[in-house]
Amino acid sequence: MTKAKNFRLNFHFLANPARFIRFTNKIFPWVLIIAIASIVSGLILGLAIVPPDYQQGDAYRIIFVHVPSAWMGLFIYAVMAFSCAVGIIWRHPLAFLISKASAPIGACFTFICLLTGSLWGQPMWGTWWVWDARLTSMLVLLFLYIGYIALNSAFQDSHKGARASSILVLVGVINLPIVKFSVDWWNTLHQPATISKIDSPSIDSSMIAPLLLMIVGFMTYYFTTLIIRVRSEIIDRRIKKIRLEQTRAMNE
C-alpha cells in the first residue's frame, strides 16, 4: 500500500502547472545540451567517419536519420496514448496538454521517416513507394497523427476536443504492433530488425554508435520541444483565463 501511495504521489507531482514549470526550468538546459551534442556528434560520425556499406555504399547513411525518426514516430504516439489514458481515467490536468503538444512533433518525425525511406528506396528498390506492410502502416500512423490534430482543433470546447481526440489515439494504438512486427508477420521489401537483435545485430558495430547517438539526440530533442510547447500552452491558458475574468468583471 505504501509503494502504491508513493507512486500515486509521484505520478501526480507534476499535475500542478506551476510545479511543472519550475521542474522543467531546472532540467531544460541539460536536455537541450544533450540533444544538441548527440545530434551533432551522431551526424558527424554517421556522415563523415564510419565507412561505407559494402553493398549500399554511402546510400545507407540515410539510416542515421530514417531509423531514429521511425522509432520516434512510434515512441511519441505511445506517449500520447498513455497521456490520453491518464487524462480520461485520472483527469490529470497536464495529460491532455502533453498529448496535444506531442502530436505535431510525432507527425513531423513520421513524415521524415517516410520521406527518407522513399529517398533510400528509389536507388535500392528502383521505386519511390511500394504498398509494403511497413510503409503502409507508417503512413497510417501519419494519418492518425493528422486526424488527432484535426479532431482536437475541431471543437470550440477544448476539453471536449481533448476527450474526443484521445479516443481516436487509444483506438489507433492497435497500429503500433502492426508497424513494429509487420516485417515479421508478412513478406515485405523492408529489411527486418537491425540493432534490436542485441546478440547478432544486422549492421556493423561501427555503425551502431552514431545510430544510438541519433536516437538519444532525437529523443532529447522531443523532450526539449515538448517542454517548450507545454509551457507555452500553460501560459496561453493563463492569459485566456485572466482575459475572461477581466471581461466578466467589466460586464458586472
Q: What total of structural domains would you count in the chain?
A: 1
Instruction: Please check whether residue 170 lies inside any domain of the structure.
Output: yes
The model carries a pTM of 0.87
Say if 13 falls within a structural domain.
no
Q: How many CB atoms lie within 10 A of CB 72?
A: 23
**Helix runs in the chain, H state only:** 2-11, 17-44, 63-89, 95-125, 133-153, 158-172, 175-185, 205-251
- In 3D space, the residue among 170, 165, 141, 167 whose CA is nearest the CA of residue 151 turns out to be 165
CA separation (Å) from 252 to 116, 127, 248? 58, 67, 6
CA distances from 214 to 110, 134, 146 (A): 15, 21, 25
Q: Is residue 6 situated within a structural domain?
A: no
Q: How far is CA 69 from CA 112, 117, 128, 217, in A?
A: 6, 10, 18, 11
Q: Answer yes or no: is 172 within a domain.
A: yes
Q: Residue 12 domain-assigned?
A: no
What's the domain range around 161? Answer: 30-49+56-238
Amino acid 100: pLDDT: 96
Q: Answer yes or no: is 171 within a domain.
A: yes
Could you tell me if residue 19 is inside a domain? no
pLDDT digits (tens, 9 = 90+) for 153-165: 999 888 899 999 9
pLDDT in tens, 53-102: 777 777 788 999 999 999 999 999 999 999 999 999 988 879 999 999 99
CATH number for the domain harbouring residue 219: 1.20.120
Q: Would residue 248 count as lying in a domain?
A: no
Q: Is the pLDDT of residue 197 over 50?
A: no
